[in-house]
Structure 1
């Protein structure tokens, strides 16, 4: 099954760099005036980070990189989440995680003179997403 974000096909070998990072428990630490520390924890149904990165291999075309940067530059109507479909069939309702850095970064695999990049020119990408509803379905 293809990996897609809002219908944009991503490389099936793109790396989900924080997939196995613990994310299901939220915690707040509050120091008191007496020096005691109050720690509160609860289940976290949303807010799971999803960082997808090319690493050294999962290249996309310039056309795909442009589609992703355009998607990131377009505000979502009524904060409607995007759908990320992972290769094993799981789906995630998410938005771009702009608080963690640039939502989308794309870098040429090899440099060409300005204007020499055609639609098939290869790029590496990093996408920063965060879940907004149930962390996974399916």
Structure 2
């Protein structure tokens, strides 16, 4: 899996892949009680949350630092290449906290090769 040029483990899970509905819907009532339903396809904005579990998707602190640095650039569209070869254009989902990472083993002086469980929150664009 690649986010831009950063290699991520293929066992990071896209945990909200099937939570997306590509159709926006608004339901309203008229004053006479009639029902008005409006639907329109969503053009983009599908959430892509990549998350490691207890036994998968671990990254090094060095990789966490790379992803954090990448997230600090405003208005950057990135290419996300999934393990099944799908390629998505994405941006960081800043409204929901772009990145969280927890060390697997706590240390007062973490090294760059220490492992972390990471969650990366993205949104599709284009």
Structure 2 match to 1:51: 49
The gaps in structure 2 that reach 5 residues or longer are: none
Aligned: 1:70 with 2:55: no
Structure 2 match to 1:124: 117
Q: What does the per-residue CA deviation read over 1:6-37, in whole Å, with 9 as the maximum and x for residues that have no partner?
A: 11111111010011223211123445566655
Given candidates 21, 24, 31, the residue that maps to 1:23 is: 21
Q: Name whichever of 119-128 and 24-33 sits farther off.
A: 24-33
The gaps in structure 1 that reach 5 residues or longer are: 134-138
Matched residue count: 125
Q: What does the per-residue CA deviation read over 1:51-82, in whole Å, with 9 as the maximum and x for residues that have no partner?
A: 00012121100000011111111213xxx411
Structure 1 match to 2:104: 109
Cα gap change, 1:64 to 1:28, in 2 (>3 Å): same
2: CA distance, partners of 1:34 / 1:104: 48
Q: Name whichever of 21-30 and 40-49 sits farther off.
A: 21-30
Q: 1:105: how far off?
A: 0.8
2: CA distance, partners of 1:112 / 1:31: 58
1: CA distance, partners of 2:94 / 2:30: 32
- Secondary structure of the 2:64 match is helix
Q: Name whichever of 59-68 and 39-48 sits farther off.
A: 39-48
Structure 1 match to 2:87: 91
CA contact (8 A) 2:20 2:47 kept: no
CA contact (8 A) 2:97 2:121 kept: yes
Structure 1 match to 2:40: 42
1: CA distance, partners of 2:112 / 2:123: 29
